[in-house]
């Protein structure tokens, strides 16, 4: 009987210690840190051509189809202007504008949209939500050619991770 009580007490203490350590908040990011280099400073290049934008969208659509996911796929130039758009059969209608919006954000900020998701979800950088037009959700991928930013691709219709994996296939047609 004493052994059971002792075992239960040790087990309870272990659970409480684990819960206490699991509940410790992460250290807040140092917003006063000054990086040596500008982050996300890839210089702008000429816009992706319509043919290459369509090829990137087609590659993303082929990946989505292989996985059984219906997606909307937008490819934009460096300024965020739409170059190519592909709506797969049965892709949800709400994702049409979402795909275009997030591709624009990846282009205008010259970074993957996962950066914004991580900033809010993992970094506690809630000020990111105050930036114009930002949606903190992964899937927007910059398109880089010859070390120049030529556009971005975004897929919408699935979960963030589904959108991201499909867009990575489309982006790979440019980002080598």
Q: What is the pLDDT of residues 59-69, one digit of tens each?
A: 999 999 999 99
pLDDT one-digit tens code per residue, 8-55: 444 444 444 555 555 666 677 777 889 898 888 899 999 999 999 999
Domains of the chain: 50-171 (3.30.450.150)
Q: What's the pLDDT score for residue 10? A: 44
Rounded Cα distance between 21 and 110, Å, is: 37
Global pTM value: 0.80
Q: What's the pLDDT score for residue 6? A: 46
């Amino acid at each position: 009987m004493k052994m059971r009580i002792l075992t239960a007490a040790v087990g309870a203490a272990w659970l409480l210690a684990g819960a206490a350590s699991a509940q410790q908040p992460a250290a807040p990011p140092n917003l006063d840190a000054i990086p040596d280099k500008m982050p996300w400073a890839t210089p702008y290049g000429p816009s992706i051509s319509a043919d290459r934008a369509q090829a990137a969208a087609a590659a993303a659509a082929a990946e989505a189809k292989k996985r059984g996911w219906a997606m909307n796929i937008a490819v934009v130039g460096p300024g965020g202007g739409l170059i190519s758009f592909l709506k797969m059969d049965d892709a949800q209608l709400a994702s049409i504008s979402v795909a275009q919006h997030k591709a624009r954000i990846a282009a205008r900020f010259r970074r993957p949209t996962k950066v914004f998701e991580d900033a809010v979800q993992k970094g506690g950088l809630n000020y990111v939500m105050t930036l114009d037009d930002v949606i903190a959700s992964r899937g927007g991928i910059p398109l880089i050619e010859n070390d120049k930013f030529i556009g971005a691709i975004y897929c919408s219709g699935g979960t963030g991770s589904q959108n991201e994996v499909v867009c990575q296939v489309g982006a790979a047609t440019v980002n080598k």
